[in-house]
Structure 1
Amino acid sequence: MNVLVTGGAGFIGSHVAAALLEQGHHVVVLDSMDPYYEPTIKRANVDRCTELAEHHYYFVEGSITDEDTVEAVFDDYNVEYVYHQAAQAGVRTSVENPHKPHEINTTGLLNLLEAATKHDVQRFVNASSSSVYGHDEYLPYDEDHPTTPRSPYGVTKRTAEHYCRVYTEIHDLPTVSLRYFTVYGPRMRPNMAITNFTSRCLTGDPPVIYGDGQQTRDFTYIDDVVRANLALLETDAADGEAMNIGSTGTITIEALAEHVIAETGADVEPVYDDAKEADARHTHADVSKARELIDYDPTTSIREGVSQFVEWYEDNREWYEPLVRAS
C-alpha cells in the first residue's frame, strides 16, 4: 500500500509512519518542518523512519498549503491512503495568531481533499481534536455532545471535520476524523505538560501548574492512537464519521504533577500560576463509538504511560532534553 502521512516528521505522524513501515507499506511523508518546536526533533524522527525501511520511506519537505506541492506528491507516489496528521497545533498559540492555524488546518486540508478526490484515494483519515467540544455540558464527551470550540484551533479542527464529511457525501471520498484527546509518549512535543513537568523535575525545578490544578485531562498514550489509525486500513466502517480516541480515564493536572515528581524522584513541590486563556476545564472521552466501529480498546492508563515516558526520557535525555529546553 502507498500511504501518505502529512506531518509525518512530527510526534504522532512519525509514530504512525513507523508503524506503517513495520507492516511493510510504502510511506511518503510530507512535512514543512515548521519550527513551532525544535526541528531537530523532527529530523530525528525522519532518521528513525529511514533506518526502519530506507527503500520504502520517502520524505518530502513542503507545505500542505502549497497546491502544487500537494499535487506533485499524489502524482509522484501514487498515493492510495492518506493519514492527515499535519496541523498548526496549540490552543494558546491560536489565540495569539489565528491566521496561521486557519491557513494550515483549513486551507491545507482542503488542498489535500481535492487531491485525494482527484486521485481516487481509498481512505482519508483526518486527525481531529477534543478541542472541538469546548465547554463541557456533560462528561464524558460522546460524539453527540455540542461542539462549541473555545479557541481558533478548535474552530479549524471542527471545520476540517465538516469538510471531510462533505467530501464523503458529495464526492464519495471515504473519510474518517479521529478526535484525539491529548496524546503523549516518547518523542512528544516539548511544549506539552507532561514533557515540561518531566524536564523540570529532572533538573530539580518545580513543575508549574497553570490554574488551581483541579482541571482534568484525558491523556491518550501514543501506542493506543497508532492502533486506532492502523485499524482503519482493515475496515471500511465509519466513512464520513468522527469518533473519539481517548484513554482509560482522567487525571487532575495536580495529580499528574505529583505522579511525575514521584516517578523522577525529584525533591520539589508544584508551583502555581494564572490559568491560561482558552484552556478547557475538563476533557474526558466516551470511546464507545470507536470501540464499536474499529474495535478500539485503549490499554495504557495515564499512570502507566507517564511511567513509560519518564523512563524513555531518562534513556534519551542526552539528545532530547537540550531540544526540550530550546523550545
Structure 2
Amino acid sequence: MNVLVTGGAGFIGSHISEGLLESGHSVVALDILDPYYDVGIKDRNVERCQEAAPERYEFVEGSITDEALVRELVSSRDVEFVYHQAAQAGVRTSVENPKKPHEINTTGLLNLLQAAADHGVTRFVNASSSSVYGEVEYLPYDEDHQNVPQSPYGVTKLAAEHYCRVWTDVYDLPTVSLRYFTVYGPRMRPNMAITNFTSRCLNGEPPVIYGDGQQTRDFTYIDDIVGANLSLLETSAGDGEVMNVGSTGTITIEELAEYIIDETGADVDLEYAAAKEADARHTHADVSKATELIDYEPSTSIRDGVSQFVEWYDRNRTWYEPLVRNS
C-alpha cells in the first residue's frame, strides 16, 4: 500500500513510518523540518527510515499548507492511505502565537482532506490530542466528555476532528481521529518533561517541576501509539469517529521526576518553579472505545516505558543529548 505520512520526520510520524516499512508498505513522508526543536533529531529520524527500506521510502521537504504540493503528492504517488501527524505542537507555543497553529493545524488539514477526497483515498487517520478536553468534568475522560479546550492548540485539534467527521459524512472520505495522551519514547521531542528530567539527571542537575508537582498525566509509550495506528490498516471500524489512545494509568509529575532520579542514579533533589499558563491539571484516558472498535490494548506501563527511555537515552547520548541540550 502507498501511504502518505505527514510530519514524517517528527517523533510520532517517523515511528509510524518505520512500522509501515517493516510491514512492507511504501511510505512518502512529508515534513517542513520546522526548527521548533533541533532539526538534527528529525534528520536522524529520516535517516533511520531511509536505511530501513530505501526502495520503499521517500522523504519530501515541504508544508501541508502548500496546497499544490499536497495535491501533487497524493495524486502522483497514488496515495491510498494517509496518516496525518503534522502539526504545530505545543500548548504554550500556541498561547504565544495562535495564528501559526491555526494555519498549520486547520488550513493545512483542509488541504489534505480535500486532496484525499478528490483522489479517493481509502482512509485518512488524523492525529488529535487530549488537549481537546480542557476543563475536567470527570476522569478518566471518555469521548463523550465535554470539550472546552484551554489553548489555541486545543481549539485547532478539536476543529480538525470536526472537519474530519464532516469529510466522512459529506464527502465520503473514511476518517478516524485518534486522541493521543502525552506520547513519549525514543527520539521524542526534547521539550517534554520526561526528556528534560532525564537529561538534567544524567548531567547531575535537579529536575525542575513547574507547579506543585501534583499534576497527573496519562503518558503513552510510542509503541502503543504505533500499534493503534497500524491496526487501522486492517479494519474499517471507526469511520467518522474519535477515539482516545492512552496508557495503562497515570502518574504525578513529582512521582515521574522521582522515578527518573532513581533510574538514572542521580544524586539530586527536586526543584520547583511557577506553573506554566494553559497546562492541564490532570489527564487520564478511558480507552474502552478504542478497545471495542480496534482492539487497542496499551501494553507499556509508565514505569516500564520510562525505564526503556532512560536506557535508550544513555545508549544514544553521544548524538541525542547535544541536540536536546541545545533545543
User: Equivalences for 1:181-192 in 2 at 5 Å?
Assistant: 181-192=181-192
Aligned equivalent of 2:199: 199
Deviations 1:131-164 (A, max 9, x none): 0000110000000000000000000000000000
Query: Where does structure 1 lack aligned partners over 5 or more consecutive residues?
Result: none
Please state how far the C-alpha of 1:76 moved relative to its aligned partner. Answer: 1.9
Please state how far the C-alpha of 1:72 moved relative to its aligned partner. Answer: 1.2
1:54 aligned counterpart, secondary structure: coil
* Structure-2 separation of matches of 1:321 and 1:106: 33
* Structure-2 separation of matches of 1:272 and 1:147: 30
Aligned equivalent of 1:225: 225
* Structure-1 separation of matches of 2:44 and 2:77: 23
Deviations 1:69-98 (A, max 9, x none): 101111221100000000000000000000
Aligned equivalent of 2:319: 319
* Structure-2 separation of matches of 1:80 and 1:312: 34
Give the counterpart letter for 2:113 in structure 1.
L
Aligned equivalent of 2:20: 20
Aligned equivalent of 1:99: 99
Give the counterpart letter for 2:179 in structure 1.
R
Please state how far the C-alpha of 1:20 moved relative to its aligned partner. Answer: 0.1
User: Equivalences for 1:153-168 in 2 at 5 Å?
Assistant: 153-168=153-168
TM-score (structure 1 length as normaliser): 1.00
Aligned equivalent of 1:213: 213
Aligned equivalent of 1:130: 130
Give the counterpart letter for 2:212 in structure 1.
D
Matched, 1:6 2:9: no
Q: Determine what percentage of the aligned residue pairs are the same residue.
A: 77
Give the counterpart letter for 2:215 in structure 1.
Q
Deviations 1:195-241 (A, max 9, x none): 00000000000000000000100000000000000000000000000
* Structure-2 separation of matches of 1:75 and 1:62: 16
Please state how far the C-alpha of 1:53 moved relative to its aligned partner. Answer: 0.1
* Structure-2 separation of matches of 1:155 and 1:269: 37
1:142 aligned counterpart, secondary structure: coil
Aligned equivalent of 1:255: 255
1:55 aligned counterpart, secondary structure: coil
Aligned equivalent of 2:73: 73
RMSD across aligned C-alpha pairs, in angstroms? Answer: 0.3
Aligned equivalent of 1:306: 306
1:171 aligned counterpart, secondary structure: coil
User: Equivalences for 1:217-296 in 2 at 5 Å?
Assistant: 217-296=217-296
Aligned equivalent of 1:59: 59
* Structure-2 separation of matches of 1:301 and 1:44: 27
2:48 aligned counterpart, secondary structure: helix
Please state how far the C-alpha of 1:16 moved relative to its aligned partner. Answer: 0.1
Give the counterpart letter for 2:268 in structure 1.
V
Deviations 1:84-135 (A, max 9, x none): 0000000000000001000000000000000000000000000000000001
